[in-house]
């Protein structure tokens, strides 16, 4: 079994980190960032899944809040590749990969969170068109996107065989995208409500077939979980570096605080979990690149393990920095806030437990 990244991949991470240290300054424009990464060859149509995961991990080490933007757009590109018609692929794939078009994924509603079968956004056939009405919440990238991959019910509420994925132009008549919902952490990526009033969608903009929505949503979330894990690991790496830097410089009671066993134990635990989480993440990305039938289980294991570790150790990093860890806009304070939601989106960690147990039993 492979347990180490190749030199090409470790060099890719190093080179990207150097590039980002120069380019990730000031206010971040997510679309321009993606386009820069594309222009400089870090994103391309020939990237393996693993390479996109390494890219996400590296960016999130420096700026965890960007992870939600990346995972959403990367997971949507996978949807178009796997389920889009030739017409949809020809029209959009190149522009999505280059970042000329940015996408959002809109499934969640007030009454449909973990239980996606309960979506109420309705799609009614009207000649060769579908007419969509409803309200979505938590659509990441909503206010910066050109394309929305949106799920609606074509049958009665609760009937999974009616859920269908539509590709919609965000500027289309009848669509209202609200301001980003104020939230704890992950503020760099917007999360929006989307209201749909008599939105007309042509039949050729259905992704897959009528009723394929649940299959498409679940496969997207499987991919999204792997990106979410990369986001958590980037963040965990970042807080470990901050904790080491601070604890070796800070003196109390006449010695470096890193000489105290209490601090050493925090650092040892962070380092163990980072290495363990990385191995699981890379194993999962290799499983995706080789179409392994273990993918579903591994992506849930990787997501829940690394996000729990990120949440716990970002809190420990604040502890190690003491008062300095509370300074707003410092790396660890932001990481602490960014980490919580990782246990919630792409399927909550309780749902990941169900998936893992189901796969094993
Ligand atoms: C910042 C952010 C960004 C998001 N981005 C997107 C996006 O881009 N697109 C999108 O469609 N959605 C997005 N979401 C929505 C996200 O996927 C949901 O929040 C998530 O699936 C959980 O749904 P819920 O919030 O309704 O919680 P609920 O489903 O109501 O769950 C509440 C609690 O009950 C537990 N629970 C529920 N069912 C079970 C069960 N069967 N067994 C055990 N425990 C259970 C959950 O684990 C959780 O602890 C985002 C959410 C956030 C916060």
Any atom of ligand 1 within 6 Å of the Cβ of 350: yes
Any atom of ligand 1 within 6 Å of the Cβ of 108: yes
| pLDDT tens string 206-230 | 999 999 999 999 999 999 999 999 9
For the chain, give every domain's residue range: 7-98, 103-213, 215-360
Q: How far is the CA of 112 from the centre of ligand 1 (A)?
A: 8
Q: Indicate if the pLDDT at residue 329 is higher than 90.
A: no
Which of 114, 187, 189, 193 to mutate to test ligand 1, by most ligand atoms within 8 A of the CB atom? 114
**Predicted local confidence at residue 4, as pLDDT:** 84
Minimum-distance ligand 1 atom for the alpha carbon of 72? 8
- Report field, pTM of the whole predicted structure over 0.95: yes
Is the separation of the CB atoms in 163 and 182 below 8 Å? no
Minimal-distance CA residue to ligand 1 atom 30: 113
| Fold agreement (7-98, 215-360) | no
Give DSSP secondary structure letters for 140-163. Answer: ETGGG-SEEEEEEESSSTT-GGGE
Rounded to the nearest 5 degrees, what angle is found at the Cα of 267, between the Cα atoms of 265 and 272?
95
Minimum-distance ligand 1 atom for the alpha carbon of 136? 11
CATH of domain 103-213: 2.40.110.10
The overall average pLDDT reported for the chain is 96
Q: Which CATH number fits domain 215-360: 3.40.190.10, 3.40.50.2300, 3.40.50.300, 1.20.140.10?
A: 1.20.140.10
Q: How far is the CA of 111 from the centre of ligand 1 (A)?
A: 10
**Predicted local confidence at residue 26, as pLDDT:** 85
Q: Strand pairing of 147-153 and 103-106?
A: parallel
Q: Dig out the tokens for 325 from the structure.
A: 């860890």
**Catalytic-residue membership of 346:** yes
Distance CA 200, CA 188 (A): 31
| pLDDT tens string 284-304 | 999 999 999 999 999 999 999
Distance CA 348, CA 353 (A): 9
Domain 7-98 falls in which CATH fold? Butyryl-Coa Dehydrogenase, subunit A; domain 1 (1.10.540)
Which of 68, 107, 110, 138 to mutate to test ligand 1, by most ligand atoms within 8 A of the CB atom? 138
């Amino acid at each position: 079994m492979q347990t180490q990244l190749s030199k090409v991949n470790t060099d890719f991470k190093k080179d990207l980190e150097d590039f980002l240290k120069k380019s990730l300054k000031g206010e971040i424009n997510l679309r321009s960032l993606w386009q820069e990464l594309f222009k400089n060859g870090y994103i391309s149509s020939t990237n393996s899944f693993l390479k996109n995961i390494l890219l996400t991990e590296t960016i999130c080490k420096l700026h965890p809040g960007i992870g939600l933007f990346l995972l959403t757009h990367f997971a949507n590109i996978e949807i178009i590749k796997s389920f889009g018609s030739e017409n949809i692929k020809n029209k959009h794939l190149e522009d999505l990969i280059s970042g000329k078009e940015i996408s959002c994924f809109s499934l969640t509603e007030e009454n449909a969170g973990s239980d996606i079968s309960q979506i109420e956004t309705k799609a009614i056939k009207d000649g060769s068109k579908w007419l969509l009405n409803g309200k979505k919440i938590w659509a990441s990238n909503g206010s910066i996107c050109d394309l929305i991959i949106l799920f609606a019910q074509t049958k009665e509420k609760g009937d999974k065989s009616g859920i269908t994925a539509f590709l919609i132009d965000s500027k289309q008549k009848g669509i209202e995208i609200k301001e980003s919902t104020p939230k704890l952490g992950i503020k760099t990526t917007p999360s929006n409500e989307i209201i749909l009033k008599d939105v007309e969608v042509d039949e050729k903009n259905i992704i897959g077939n009528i009723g394929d929505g649940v299959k498409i949503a679940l496969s997207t979330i499987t991919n999204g979980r792997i990106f979410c894990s990369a986001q958590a690991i980037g963040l965990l790496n970042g807080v470990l570096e901050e904790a080491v830097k601070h604890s070796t410089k800070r003196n109390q009671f006449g010695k470096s605080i890193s000489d105290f066993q209490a601090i050493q134990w925090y650092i040892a635990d962070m380092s163990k979990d980072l290495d363990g989480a990385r191995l699981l993440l890379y194993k999962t990305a290799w499983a995706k690149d080789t179409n392994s039938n273990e993918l579903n289980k591994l992506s849930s294991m990787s997501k829940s393990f690394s996000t729990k570790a990120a949440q716990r150790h970002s809190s420990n990093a604040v502890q190690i920095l003491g008062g300095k860890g509370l300074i707003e806009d410092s790396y660890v304070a932001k990481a602490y806030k960014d980490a919580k939601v990782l246990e919630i989106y792409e399927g909550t960690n309780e749902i990941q437990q169900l998936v893992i147990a189901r796969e094993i039993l």
